[in-house]
């Protein structure tokens, strides 16, 4: 009987295991190995516990990678795997919000995990937790995977191995970056790793604004030449260290080492619906309607603290009635392009996913490692990070499905060893 090992019990790993079991129809023994005490730990936290498992508008532009051409090829394979239709075939009933984000109708990530576990059990997939993968090598026309458990070291033989151990993001969920290190140990070419979909630290954060939220447009600029690299509209959250919120997290995906701007700047437009001249006229009109203090000036426009900080950054004195007419265009210009500089992504604990990883050109359309039949890399181990909104789980589930189906189609022929067999 064919032996298939799934390294990692996250979204990609569980999808791969179940897809392999469905395809093999009893012709394979499938085992999931996970280092945590329970599989799906990170999956339970997705979508704030609601599990934003897909999106109705999947396009290559919603992903960050160093290999856009290869991404189009592999994303087509993921789309063909049809992860949402697959979930529906398992009994999941989805709901879609106004932004195209797809959730289980119950809005419970725990239900998605329970559904997967139900079908894994029904199909006889073995799930082993508390297992740390140590090494992989060639063995008898297949692979030998060495693991560490509470009982000691153990070696498992497999005809096919699917690596779904993730990246560095979210160490609190049990990830430690071994998935990407493992890909490198197998001889794969790697793009540098970086925290993706995370908040940004600023050189001079506005600490008094911590906790304040405001809707607007955030632009990522190249401070060297002023070019606008991307724009995102949504809610910005001010923090003690800098900026957060979904639109800021989206921009963080463009800060890849070697590909991002050397001097990144975020410019906030707090009044995106108004042109600068219209905003200046609005400000001038308010002086006669409200009191002379800056705090009163912002009533109904912005939170008082936020308004005062904007006022101060524009270099205006406290008393609004003493200001010349030239002050309002200056204040409008600041409100339309409020700059935050000296940006660096926050660390792995805050990151939702891992940027960088095994280059996409290193895998076939079924996510098999080129030159090593029966060895697959899926999900977050690859150099592909999606935007917020279900794109990462679409990639994780879809790549897992494609790999699992491929691995279970037939026993693999004799294959060469991984290109580099260095131990961990």
Return phi, psi of residue 81, to 5°. Answer: -65, -20
Same domain for 360 and 333, yes or no, is no
- Segments forming the whole domain that contains residue 92: 2-194+351-408
Model confidence band, residue 422 (pLDDT cutoffs 50, 70, 90): very low
Same domain for 242 and 340, yes or no, is yes
User: Is the confidence at residue 345, as pLDDT, over 80?
Assistant: yes
pTM score of the predicted model? 0.92
Same domain for 37 and 138, yes or no, is yes
Is residue 182 assigned to a domain?
yes
Q: Which two tokens stand for residue 218?
A: 């955030």
Question: Domain boundary at 328, 345, 362, which?
Answer: 345
pLDDT in tens, 314-329: 998 877 777 888 899 9
Beta bridge partners of 20: none
Query: Total domain count for the chain?
Result: 2
Distance CA 165, CA 172 (A): 14
Same domain for 180 and 271, yes or no, is no
Q: For residue 55, give the CATH number of its domain.
A: 3.50.50.60
Average pLDDT over residues 401-420: 75
Same domain for 333 and 368, yes or no, is no
Same domain for 116 and 211, yes or no, is no
Q: Could you tell me whether strands 353-358 and 190-196 are parallel, antiparallel, or unpaired per DSSP bridges?
A: antiparallel
Is residue 48 assigned to a domain?
yes
Report pLDDT for 417: 57
Same domain for 315 and 371, yes or no, is no
Distance CA 328, CA 344 (A): 32
Same domain for 363 and 271, yes or no, is no
Is residue 43 assigned to a domain?
yes
Same domain for 383 and 288, yes or no, is no
pLDDT in tens, 165-208: 988 998 888 887 788 888 998 899 999 999 999 999 999 999 99
Is residue 90 assigned to a domain?
yes
pLDDT in tens, 228-285: 999 999 999 999 999 999 999 999 999 999 999 999 999 999 999 999 999 999 998 8
Closest CA to 251 of 211, 202, 203, 198: 198
Report pLDDT for 395: 98
Residue 405, Cβ density class (10 Å: 0-12 exposed, 13-18 middle, ≥19 buried):
middle
Is residue 422 assigned to a domain?
no
Same domain for 207 and 185, yes or no, is no
User: Is the confidence at residue 153, as pLDDT, over 60?
Assistant: yes
Instruction: Give the sign of the dihedral formed by CA 368, CA 358, CA 36, CA 134.
Output: positive
Model confidence band, residue 412 (pLDDT cutoffs 50, 70, 90): low
Mean of all residue pLDDT scores within the chain: 92
Report pLDDT for 121: 97
Is residue 154 assigned to a domain?
yes
Report pLDDT for 323: 82
Is residue 228 assigned to a domain?
yes
Closest CA to 22 of 400, 354, 330: 400
User: Is the confidence at residue 73, as pLDDT, over 50?
Assistant: yes
Is residue 417 assigned to a domain?
no
Average pLDDT over residues 2-16: 97
pLDDT in tens, 118-147: 999 999 999 999 999 998 888 778 999 999
pLDDT in tens, 94-125: 999 999 999 999 999 999 999 999 999 999 99
Same domain for 206 and 257, yes or no, is yes
Same domain for 239 and 208, yes or no, is yes
């Amino acid at each position: 009987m064919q032996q298939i090992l799934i390294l990692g019990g996250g979204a990609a790993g569980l999808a791969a295991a179940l897809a392999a079991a469905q395809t093999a129809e009893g012709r394979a023994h499938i085992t999931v190995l996970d280092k945590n005490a329970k599989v799906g730990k990170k999956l339970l936290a997705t979508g704030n516990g609601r599990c934003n498992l897909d999106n109705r508008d999947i396009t290559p532009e919603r992903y960050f990678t160093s290999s856009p051409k290869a991404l189009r090829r592999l994303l087509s394979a993921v789309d063909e795997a049809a992860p949402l239709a697959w979930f529906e075939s398992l009994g999941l009933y989805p709901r879609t919000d106004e932004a195209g984000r797809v959730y289980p109708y119950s809005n419970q990530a725990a239900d998605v995990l329970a559904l997967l576990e139900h079908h894994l059990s029904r199909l006889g997939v073995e799930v082993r937790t508390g297992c740390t993968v140590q090494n992989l090598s060639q063995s008898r026309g297949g692979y030998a995977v060495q693991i560490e458990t509470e009982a000691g070291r153990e070696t498992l033989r497999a005809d096919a191995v699917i690596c779904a151990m993730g990246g560095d993001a979210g160490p609190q969920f049990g990830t430690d970056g071994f998935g990407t290190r493992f890909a490198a140990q197998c001889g794969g070419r790697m793009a540098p790793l970086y925290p993706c979909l995370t908040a940004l630290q600023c050189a001079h954060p506005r600490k008094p604004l911590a906790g304040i939220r405001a809707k607007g447009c955030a632009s990522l600029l190249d401070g060297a030449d002023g070019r606008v690299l991307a724009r995102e509209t949504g809610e910005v959250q001010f923090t003690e260290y800098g900026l957060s919120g979904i639109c800021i997290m989206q921009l963080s995906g463009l800060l890849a080492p070697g590909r991002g701007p050397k001097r990144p700047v975020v410019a906030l437009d707090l009044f995106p619906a108004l042109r600068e001249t219209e905003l200046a006229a609005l400000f001038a009109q308010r002086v006669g309607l409200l009191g002379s203090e800056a705090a009163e000036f912002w009533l109904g426009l912005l939170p008082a603290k936020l308004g005062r900080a904007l006022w101060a950054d524009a270099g205006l004195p406290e008393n609004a009635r003493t200001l010349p007419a030239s002050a309002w265009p200056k204040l409008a210009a600041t409100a339309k392009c409020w700059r935050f500089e000296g940006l660096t992504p926050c660390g792995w604990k805050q990151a939702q996913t891992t940027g960088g990883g095994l280059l996409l050109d290193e895998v076939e359309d079924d996510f098999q490692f080129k030159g090593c039949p029966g060895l697959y890399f899926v999900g977050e181990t690859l150099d592909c990070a999606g935007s917020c909104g279900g794109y990462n789980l679409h990639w994780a589930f879809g790549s897992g499905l494609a790999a699992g189906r491929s691995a279970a189609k037939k026993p693999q022929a004799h294959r060469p060893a991984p290109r580099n067999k260095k131990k961990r």
